[in-house]
């Protein structure tokens, strides 16, 4: 049996969808991402795909984000360009914004800076023993693939958008139940995003996934930087 996790950041922490052989098995909610990874090997989890940037450059913009944005048409706004490592090492937005301009020629939005705590948390796990199970996915890129290569027309917070996404997942064999326990209190778009990343995790585990870029870039330590789908 192939077991994988798809994870998305949410206001309460991280929402996770577990798949067994590509089918829904469990939904959960955790405060810290480390707790999901620490027991992954013991639970037989082959891949953990997470909707958070993994892997940072020393200068310039990641090709993964540029290519993902180019694929998504009207949904391109869901992709933000990830600035270099030094930007995320700053403690305050103003300093991070200045450093971003120095290293990229452009500033850093406050919305992007809001991801700093979770981005640091996730990237800090890459050096752990279980970090090789961790892959970056972007839900809108995954949903585009689920839709046969067509970006979705409706935004994910709309009724039409959520019904479309749930239907695409169901057609792929991921039927989300109405009752999700604690995870059911998470905003619906975060649950759907976690399920889409789980779909990608299953493809990674089977060796069927593709990456943006293809082949991936690498960081200064030789680790791949890519969005998988």
- The residue among 75, 45, 186 whose CA lies nearest residue 139 is 75
C-beta neighbour count of 177 within 10 angstroms: 9
C-alpha dist (Å) from residue 171 to 38, 148, 164, 168, 210? 32, 12, 11, 5, 20
State the pTM of this model: 0.95
Question: Which is it for strands 134-136 and 211-218: parallel, antiparallel or unpaired?
Answer: unpaired
Q: What is the pLDDT of residue 129?
A: 65
Domains of the chain: 3-54+130-211 (3.30.420), 63-127 (no CATH)
Helix or strand (DSSP H, E) at 93: helix 93-104
Residue with tokens 């940072």: 56
Q: What is the pLDDT of residue 159?
A: 97
d(CA 197, CA 161): 17
Look up residue 165 and give its two tokens.
Answer: 């996404």
d(CA 205, CA 107): 37
pLDDT tens-place values along the chain, 229 residues long: 999 999 999 999 999 999 999 999 999 999 999 988 888 888 899 999 999 999 999 999 999 999 999 999 888 889 999 999 999 999 999 999 999 999 999 999 999 999 999 999 999 999 886 678 999 999 999 999 999 999 999 999 999 999 999 999 999 999 999 999 999 999 999 999 999 999 999 999 999 999 999 999 999 999 999 999 9
- Residue 166 contacts residue 154 (beta carbons within 8 Å): no
Q: How many helices (H) and strands (E) does the chain have?
A: 9, 7
Residue with tokens 């992709």: 79
- Residue 73 contacts residue 141 (beta carbons within 8 Å): no
Helix 159-171 vs helix 139-146: angle between axes, to the nearest 10 degrees?
60
């Amino acid at each position: 049996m192939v077991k994988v996790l798809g994870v998305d950041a949410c206001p309460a922490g991280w929402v996770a969808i577990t798949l067994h052989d590509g089918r829904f098995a469990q939904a959960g909610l955790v405060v810290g991402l480390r707790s999901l990874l620490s027991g992954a090997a013991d639970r037989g989890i082959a891949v953990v795909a997470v909707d958070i940037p993994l892997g940072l450059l020393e200068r310039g913009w990641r090709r993964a984000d540029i290519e993902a944005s180019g694929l998504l048409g009207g949904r391109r706004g869901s992709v933000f360009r990830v600035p270099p490592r030094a930007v995320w090492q700053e403690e305050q937005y103003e300093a991070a914004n200045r450093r971003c301009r120095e290293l990229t020629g452009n500033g850093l939005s406050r919305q992007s800076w809001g991801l700093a705590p979770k981005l640091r948390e996730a990237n800090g796990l890459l050096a752990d023993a279980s970090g090789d199970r961790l892959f970056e996915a972007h839900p809108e890129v995954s949903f585009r693939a689920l839709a046969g290569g067509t970006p979705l027309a409706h935004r994910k917070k709309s009724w039409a958008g959520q019904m479309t996404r749930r239907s695409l997942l169901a057609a792929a064999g991921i039927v989300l139940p109405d009752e999700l326990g604690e995870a059911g209190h998470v905003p619906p778009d975060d649950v759907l995003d976690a399920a889409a990343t789980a779909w990608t995790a299953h493809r990674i585990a089977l060796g069927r996934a593709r990456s943006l870029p293809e082949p991936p870039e690498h960081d200064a330590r030789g680790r791949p930087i890519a969005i998988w789908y």
